[in-house]
Amino acid sequence: MQLTLWSYEGPPHVGAMRIAASMKGVHLILHAPQGDTYADLLFTMIERRASRPPVSYTSFQARDLGRDTAELFKTTVEATYERFKPELILIGESCTAELIQDQPGALAQGMGLPVPVLPLELPAYTRKENWGANETFYQMVRGLLKSRVPAPGTERALRAQGARPKANLLGPTSLGYRCRDDILEVTRLLDSIGIDVNLVAPLGASPADLLRIPEADFNVCLYPEVADQACDWLRRSFGQPVVKTVPIGIGATHEFLQEAARAAGLEVDTTREPISSRMPWYSRSVDSTYLTGKRVFIFGDATHAVAAARIATEELGFTVVGLGTYAREFAREIREAAKRYGVEPLITDDYLEVEAKAAELHPELVLGTQMERHIAKRLGVPCAVISAPVHIQDFPSRYAPQMGFEGANVIFDTWVHPLMMGLEEHLVTMFREDFEFHDGATPSHLGPTTARMGQPAPEAQSEPTETAVVADGVLVWAPDAEQELKKIPFFVRGKAKRNTERFAEERGIQTITVETLYDAKAHFGR
């Protein structure tokens, strides 16, 4: 058993769901107990998707275990096919179904459905979400294209004279970190050097679209966590080169353009300063001088963590004091990078280990995932998010890529922002101590005083401590009414207080009682 306060990745079937939900015409049938539909919320709430993910569940319960869960599964498959008529059906099991071993993949394949059925092996007790996505995408690409693989030794057909080279962007998924905008930015980048995008997959592609993968001159592996197996197989089977540089950061974007040009056989001069990024100038401007040598701890998926470390050192002048990833499959990349920056690589999916490391390193800034925000809060250190897992606020409405030149602009603002706030907070705290604010005053979660262990959550602390008496001191709150007021959630408490006092004043009430409070509440309504 592993004690887990927070887990960096979901189970592998959630990875399979991400592939299905990314695509059109694909439906996933999951053998899973009642309750596992929670995962739909990731798509409908966190990503704010406007349709249900294309996933059907068997939702078995205890009473079904005494009967035939295999039969229940077959009924679900039939009903699902009839209703949704997908082009391709994926079959998966969640962790509990894996234990009862109904062999749903074989069952579904034996049902004679008129569309391809792809059973997935998703070992829930050894593998995790990204592995599940990677495996599902690979199996799907391989399953659809294996009959079209040319005989060994066949030369790739030459591109027609004058035609623009074409690339596939592989790896973007539903629930991927900033995939939506990265695709736009990378498409723009490639277009600027004369390369077209043939296909983006899995995000937005249908099974029929995947059949067009071999038409491109090369593949861009944008998110190795999801697409490296598929890209490798396509390189081996169809001779398509893979562009492996992930264009996050100014330096990496330049290298990406050069690598893409090489893969397309183009002569491209990418040495001129890009007009579209303000980040290099912002970073050189004197206001950024105080950023020099800021100690930063970086943790996330390997792709984003390695990219972040390069930006931090070469483009912002920070000092990387710690670098790690939760993705064991990509430990090698992190180890190599860690060597470059002279730090110990941290390869772990154990949140507690990351927390201990962060505490030991005393960074001034944490760049991490949603989980590192918990750590940073506990340590009282500023924090910015660079990688999944993320919550709803990191699926923003605005254009917010991480890749390319605009991505670099976004990154500059995002990383520096909490530092500025940290400085402001510091000054505020100083003045609170020096002047009229004392003990009762609340430091924000970024302030240094919350850095101790076991502090109550800030919602419990942040009481605005203005006085209860208004208008020449004639209006008083009875102690029980004041107690009652404190039970109102803090974010509406101020309004409730003002309303009650206004109510009391208008009626000439001098002492506010619990009754007054509720009378006022009823009077004003919402």
Partner 1 sequence: MSAPEIHCEQGQRQVFCGLSGIVWLHRKIQDAFFLVVGSRTCAHLLQSAAGVMIFAEPRFATAILQERDLAGLADCNQELDRVAAEVLERRPDIKTLFLVGSCPSEVIKLDLGKAAERLSEVYRGRVRVLDYSASGLETAFTQGEDACLQALLPELPTRPAGERSLLIVGTLPDVVEDQFKRLFDELGIGPVEFLPPRHATEYPSVGNGTLMLLAQPFVGETARVLQKRGATLLTAPYPFGIEGTLAWLRAATDAWGIPAERLEAVTAPAIARAEKGLARQRELLAGKRISFLPDSQLEIPMARFLQRECGMELVEVATPFLDRQLMEAELPLLPSDLRLTEGQDLDLQLDRLRVARPDLTVCGLGLANPLEAEGLRTKWSIELVFTPVHGFDQAADLAELFARPLVRGALLKV
Angle at 463 between CA 460 and CA 468, to 5 degrees: 140
Pick 63 or 272: Cβ nearer partner 1:
63
Least Å from the CB of residue 495 to partner 1: 14
Residue 278: CB atoms within 10 A of its CB come to 16
Q: Is 228 annotated as a binding residue?
A: no
Between CA 171 and CA 224 the distance in angstroms is 7
Q: Of 42 and 230, which has the nearer Cβ to partner 1? A: 42
Q: Which is nearer to partner 1, 98 or 209 (CB)?
A: 98
Name the residue type at position 361: L
Least spacing, CB of residue 378 vs partner 1, in Å: 5
Answer positive or negative: Cα dihedral of 330, 393, 256, 315: negative
Rounded CA Rg of the chain: 28
Least distance (Å) between residue 451 CB and partner 1: 10
- Which position among 68, 287, 413, 480 bears the catalytic label? 287
CB 358 within 8 A of CB 366: yes
- Residue 129's nearest CA partner among 350, 370, 392, 327 is 327
Structure tokens at 305: 């963590």
Are the C-beta atoms of residues 183 and 167 closer than 8 Å to each other?
Answer: no
How many CB atoms are located within 10 Å of the residue 502 CB?
14
Residue 155 in tokens: 């030369």
Min CB(14)–partner 1 separation in Å: 7
Give the nearest distance from C-beta 99 to partner 1 in angstroms: 5
Residues 6+ apart with CB under 8 A from 312: 296, 298, 318, 320, 367, 415
Q: Give the Cβ contact number of residue 56 at 10 Å.
A: 21
The tokens 């390189």 sit on which residue?
Answer: 235
Q: Is 350 assigned a ligand-binding role in the annotation?
A: no
CA distance 407 to 423: 25
Q: Which residues have C-beta within 8 Å of that of residue 71, sequence separation ≥ 6?
A: none
State the Cα–Cα distance between residues 355 and 376, nearest whole angstrom.
Answer: 9
Instruction: Quote the least distance from Cβ 173 to partner 1, whole Å.
Output: 17
End-to-end CA distance of the chain: 49
The answer to whether the annotation marks 36 as part of a ligand binding site is: yes
User: Does 287 qualify as catalytic in the annotation?
Assistant: yes
Nearer to partner 1, 48 or 284 (CB): 48
Place of tokens 């490391």: 357
| Closer Cβ to partner 1, 96 or 276, answer by number | 96
Question: Which of 217/484 has CB closer to partner 1?
Answer: 484
Q: Which residues are annotated as a binding site for substrate?
A: 422-423
Residues labelled catalytic: 287
